Every structure is written in structure tokens, then in C-alpha cells.
Structure 1
Amino acid sequence: MAPYDVSGKYAVVTGGGSGICLDFIKLLLVKGCSVIVGDLALRPAAEEVAKAYPHPPAAPGKASLLFHKTDVKSWPQLSSLWNTAVSTFPQVDIVVPGAGVYEPLESSFWCPPGVEGGPSKDLVDSEAGTYATFGINLIHPIRLSQLAISYWTTKKLPGNLLFVGSIAGYTATVGTPYYYSSKAGLHGFVMSLAPLHKRLGIRVACVAPGACRTPLWDQEHCKSKLTNNDPAVRSDFVADVMLNMCENDKYGDGQIVEVMDLGTAQDSKPSVREVPVHLLYPAASGVGVPTLLVEEEKLWKQLETEGFKA
């Protein structure tokens, strides 16, 4: 596959009000890619970027940033973000479902819903029970992907899906199992979508950062988890890797790319590697049941001819 140039493109990014995705948005804007940001709010640093790249753009051809307040747990709000992007931009080329949380007490395994006096905000009496941590970290990327793939396949356009996973997606902890399992689920979803690139021209990739100093760690339940003495990769370094993953012809086939700092807080040693997920496959050759592969081929034919409607 040929390299992908983000210049002149249009992107939808959730979680771009701060942190890694904000640094990534800055790179897109500098390269001439306009962005609509879906988040609960823009932090001061993001507001400054929005002022520098106003929408409508200050001059023809200049990239712009448009903010659309979005609670990504809400499907109606995700649809509103998507519909605003489609009605505002000539087209949508890049989608980054980057919003995430680190298992807050209001949606934590060890603070279950329904306990009197407990911090959980997950509804114990909901007919279709949900945990907000999964809604943000896993369900929202899946739903936004449906909207994007529907758009690209029905309009016969190429696309670029870039996800924000975590090293938690292939490690484990008893302390925050929602976070780790939500990221593991996201990685599995990314790998499942990997064939979209060769069959439909839709790039799929996922960055998997280790600990990274962002405003996420300023929250009360996170402050003790990452100290100033702990090594942590810089968010702008992760953003650089993400841009390379968006454009480099090496990526787009479901790769999960780890970004960590293997040094100390005083002596940074950033590390980037493609995670060898093939080692997780069964020992027996092949991973498909023959009858299921036949059904899968029927799906491909539908996607290639009629597209996917969401």
C-alpha cells in the first residue's frame, strides 16, 4: 500500500481536549489537516490551539479546529459529532476514537454499583446494565468505527482508523481490571478489523502507550499511581508515533505499536516496537473455522458492492 498523506485531509478525534490526542491534533493541523474534536471540554492548552486554527478557517486552504461537546458514552452525542463533521467538512478521512479513562472510582470493579454510600455512578437498576469505563474505553471506539466504516464503504472512499490502546491491553492487574480488559477488548477489535485495509482501502492501526504524563493522572484517583520519580513517555513523543502510523505505508493492517519509556524519570529512553500479537494465536495452523470463513467472504462481497449501513 502507498503512503498516506494527512495534508488537506479532515479528521474526527475524540479526547482531543488534552493529553496525547491534543498533541496529535497539533501535528495534524500543522500539516494542513482540519479536525473536529469531540470531548467534554477543551483545556486551556487546547483552547489556545483552537484560537490559532479557528473554524471557519482564517484563510482559504488553512486547517481549522472545530470543537463539538461530546460525552462519548452517549450514542446520540456520538452521532451528533459525526453528523456535524460530515455536514461541516467536504468529507471525513481520518477517525481517532482517542477518549479514555483510567477506571475511576465511579466505574470500578472494586466499587460496584448499588452499594450504599459507595462512589459508583454505574446504574444498578438499568435494564441494559453498563459500566462507564467500558462505555468510554471500548464501546465508543466500536460505535464510532461503525459510523466511519458505513460512511467510507457506502461512498466508496478510503479511510484511516487510528485507535489509542495501551500496554494494559496485553498485561493484567487485579487493581483496575475494567481498564485492562477494556483495552484488551479494543486490541482484539483492532486486529479483527485489520483486513479492511487490503480489501477496502481503510487503514487500521492502534498505538499502545505505557505510562504517559497527561492530565488523566491529575485526577484524585490517579495521583498516587504515577509519581514524579516514575518513568513516563512524553505525550508529544506518542503523538509523533501516531502521525507516523497514520502516514507510513508500513502500517494500516491492524498493527499495535507500543510506545514506552524504558529509562528513569531523570534519564529518558523512549522505546517503540510493534507488538508481536501473532504469538497469541493458537498453536495449530490457521485460526478460522471453514464454514465461518465462507460466511466471512459473503460479508466482504457485501462490503465491496453495497457498503455497510449504520
Structure 2
Amino acid sequence: MTGTPGRRFEDAIVLVTGGGSGIGAAAVRRFDREGCAAIYVADIDSEGAKTVAAGTRSGRAVTVDVTAAPDVDAQVDRIVAEHGRLDVVVNTAGIDDPEAKHRILAAQQSGEPVDVFRHLTDEQWRRVMSINLDGTFHVLRAAVRAMVPAGRGTIVMVGSSAAFDTLTGYPHYAASKAGVHALAQAVAKEAAAFGVRVNVVAPGPVDTPMAARTPAAVRQSMAAAGPLGYAAPDELADNILYLASPGASNVVGAVLLSNGGRFTV
């Protein structure tokens, strides 16, 4: 990779998980414009991955389930076998909980207090944790294993501002993203000694397909909590590429808040 403006990722080999939509898709397009040799657009939604990859010069669609460690490991191994290296890994794969959001909506409409936690099932908890936190662990571990022998590489995880400014009625989501931050920061201290940088971007509300499924009244209340409302996926992609770039060479274990002034730390 180079530090040349507009070509920071010249000839880089990049993997973006969750690349079939939203923030991941925006990051893929940004990497593609900056000269990557190959961008692996990984998603459990194979059609979404194919659509995003088809709109790029260097994108290659692959189907990956981040909850399955062997699936993640095998894909990373294939990339390294083909190219001899993996320069950048970005994990944007994540989910929310529509059922919890509908309970939040019902509380808004009735004027009653939000009452989610008492009704939270083991299945809801495990679904959010398995993708948001376990998936991050699988991707992060595979990336570090691939990069340490080469003595270099950059990794960016997507957390959430909800880990700090926890949302009423969203305890499992906040816990999963707080885990992402702590995991990435702990690994960052360890991996830095081997030339591998790990950082996190923590968005506030972002206008993605996942957010579009949020009930309108809940979306409005979330947007009203910050002066700038919902961010565009491209804005988060800019943050991701900065953290992955040579320009952030001294940034290790950071959690970059990108929430439009929703709150500051």
C-alpha cells in the first residue's frame, strides 16, 4: 500500500465481510477506487455480494457465514494461498433485532415504558451475539493468523456508538458491540508487536438497508438524538479507509466515534 492520495491501497489484497450491502458495500466501492488488486466481497447473502462485486473493477464475490469459524478460516486461507498475503480485513457483518425494535415502537405508541429485557429470549440473545460478537472473533482471529507471519496488515472492525450511549430496549445489541470494542482493543495491543494494526469504527445511526427496516417512528427518534441525524454509508467507508490506510500508521486500538455529534467521549 502507498500513501499517495487517492491511491492509498495500490495493489492491496482486501477482504470485506458483510460487503454485500450497507457500510460494507460502500467500503468495497471506496477500496476499488483506490487501486486494490483484489477485493473479496464476502457475505452470507451471495446475491448481494455478487451485485456489489459486479459494480467494481477488482471485486470478487464469496459466500461466507461469519458465525462459522471454519468457513471464515477457509476463505482467508484461500486468499493467502492465491496471493501470498492479505493486506486489509474489514468486518462490517452485523445484525440488529427487529422484534426488540417493534417492542420499542409499541411503547412509544402507548406511552408506556419500554419493556424489552423481560421478554428477551435465549434465541434473540444468541442470534445477536453469534453474528455481532462471535463473528467478529472469527474474522479477527483469521485475519491476525494470516497477517502476523507477514509482519504487516491492517484490520478494521465495525462496532457501535450504542456500546457507549446504550439504547433503551436494546441491551443485547449494546452488549455485543461493547464486546467488539473490548475484543478489538485487547487484540490490538497484542498484534501491534507483530506489525498488525487493529482499530474500530463506532457508528451512530447509518442509512443502510438494515436501518430501513426499523419502524419509522423509532428511526425518527434515533435521528433526533443527534444534530446530524443518519449518516450515509459512504461517510463510514471514509472512516474505515482512513483507519486501514498508511495515514493512520500510529493509530492502534482506537475506537473512532462516527456518530454525527450524538455524544462525545
**CA, structure 1 residues 261+141, in 2 after alignment: closer, same or farther (shift >3 Å)?**
same
* 1:215 pairs with 2:209: yes
1:39 counterpart (35, 38, 43): 43
Q: Which residues of 2 match residues 163-174 of structure 1 at below 5 A?
A: 163-174=157-168
Q: Distance in 1 between matches of 2:250 and 2:172?
A: 28
Larger RCO (CA under 8 A, 6+ residues apart): 2
- What is the letter of the counterpart of residue 150 of structure 1? R
For 2:249 and 2:150, locate their aligned partners in 1 and report how far apart those are by CA, in whole Å. 23
Indicate the residue corresponding to 1:57 in structure 2: none
Tell me the C-alpha RMSD between the 2 structures: 2.8
User: Does the alignment pair 1:8 with 2:11?
Assistant: yes
Give the whole-Å Cα distance in 2 for the aligned partners of 1:232 and 1:43. Answer: 26
Q: CA deviation at 1:157?
A: 2.7
Deviation at 1:225, TM superposition (A): 2.5
User: 1:189 is matched with which residue: 179, 183, 205?
Assistant: 183
Task: Kindly indicate whether the alpha-carbon contact (under 8 Å) linking 1:167 and 1:209 is maintained by their aligned counterparts in 2.
Answer: yes
1:255 is matched with 254
Residue in structure 2 matched with residue 17 of structure 1 by the alignment:
20
Structure 1: tracts of 5 or more residues without a match: 54-62, 114-119, 123-129, 263-270, 277-310
CA distance in 1 between partners of 2:95 and 2:215 (Å): 10
Q: Partner letter of residue 225 of structure 1? A: V
* Distance (Å, rounded) in 1 between the aligned partners of 2:126 and 2:143: 24
Q: Is the aligned partner of 1:227 residue 2:226? A: no
Alignment CA distance shift 1:235-1:204 (3 Å):
same
Deviation at 1:80, TM superposition (A): 3.0
Q: What's the CA shift string for 1:106-134, capped at 9, x where partnerless?
A: 9x853414xxxxxx5x6xxxxxxx70201
Cα displacement (A) at 1:212 = 0.7
CA distance in 2, matches of 1:84, 1:104: 35
- The alignment's TM-score, normalised by the length of structure 1, stands at 0.68
What code does the residue aligned with 1:37 have?
Answer: V
- Using the TM superposition, give the Cα deviation of residue 52 of structure 1 relative to its aligned residue in structure 2, in angstroms: 3.7
Residues 264-285 of structure 1, C-alpha deviations (whole Å, 9 max, x = no match): xxxxxxx9x9x75xxxxxxxxx
Between the aligned partners of 2:42 and 2:160, the Cα distance in structure 1 is 20
Q: 2-side partners of 1:70 and 1:181: how far apart?
A: 24
Question: What is the number of equivalent residue pairs in this alignment?
Answer: 238
1:58-97 CA distance string (max 9 Å, x none): xxxxx52111112221223222322332233342111112
Letter in 2 for 1:238: L
- Do residues 70 (structure 1) and 64 (structure 2) align? yes
Aligned CA distance change for structure 1 residues 191 and 148 (closer, same or farther; 3 Å) = same
The corresponding residue for 1:143 is 138
Structure 2: 5+ residue stretches without partners: 101-115
Cα displacement (A) at 1:15: 0.7
- Equivalence map 1:260-299=2 (5 Å): 260-262=259-261
8 Å CA contact 1:194–1:252 kept in 2: the answer is no
Structure with higher Rg: it is 1
- Contact 1:197 1:253 (C-alpha < 8 Å) held by counterparts: no
Looking at structure 2, the residues matched to 201 and 37 of structure 1 have their Cα atoms a distance apart, in angstroms, of 25
Residue pair 1:246, 1:252 contacting (<8 A) in 2 also:
no
1:10-43: CA deviations, max 9, x gaps? 1111111111111111111111112112212256
Counterpart of 2:244? 246
For residues 195-222 of structure 1, what are the alpha-carbon distances to aligned partners after superposition, in whole Å with 9 as ceiling and x for unaligned?
A: 2464211111111111111001233x55
Q: Is residue 2:83 matched to residue 1:89?
A: yes
The structure whose residues are more often helix, as a share, is 2
Given the superposition, is the C-alpha separation of residues 176 and 101 from structure 1 closer, same or farther in structure 2, using an over 3 Å criterion? same
